[in-house]
Amino acid sequence: MALWNNGMKLGTGLAIGVGALILAPTVLPAVAALLKPLAKAAIKSGFIVYEKGMEALAETREVLEDLAAEARAEMARESFDESAFTVDAGVPSASTLSD
């Protein structure tokens, strides 16, 4: 059969599988003991990056809010300055009242 003709005999594959089953209870805890500190360090790093990102975002938001407040104040000041020098067409001026 071509399906089983991959260069490895059935007995060899079976021996590897049985060996893996026998060694798994001893190898997996050792691998887990090595990976647990790495996973914990990665999680800690993720928390640190998250906190730094939140701080940077808060600072950026504060700067943008300050800029927006300054822009609103300038617009209000400009609109007040313009309204002080414009004459409303519907309001009679002093010269038309004396006539």
* Residue in 49, 67, 69 with CA at minimum distance from that of residue 57: 49
Q: What is the pLDDT of residue 36?
A: 92
The yes-or-no verdict on residue 16 having pLDDT over 70 is yes
Domain edges within the chain? 55-83
- Could you report the per-residue pLDDT of 86-95, keeping only the tens digit for each? 655 555 555 5
- Could you report the per-residue pLDDT of 54-87, keeping only the tens digit for each? 999 999 999 999 999 999 999 999 888 777 666 5
State the Cα–Cα distance between residues 56 and 54, nearest whole angstrom: 5
The pTM of the full predicted model, rounded to 2 decimals, is 0.49
Q: What is the pLDDT of residue 5?
A: 60
Q: Would you say how long the chain is, in residues? A: 99
Q: Could you tell me the two tokens for 55?
A: 């701080």
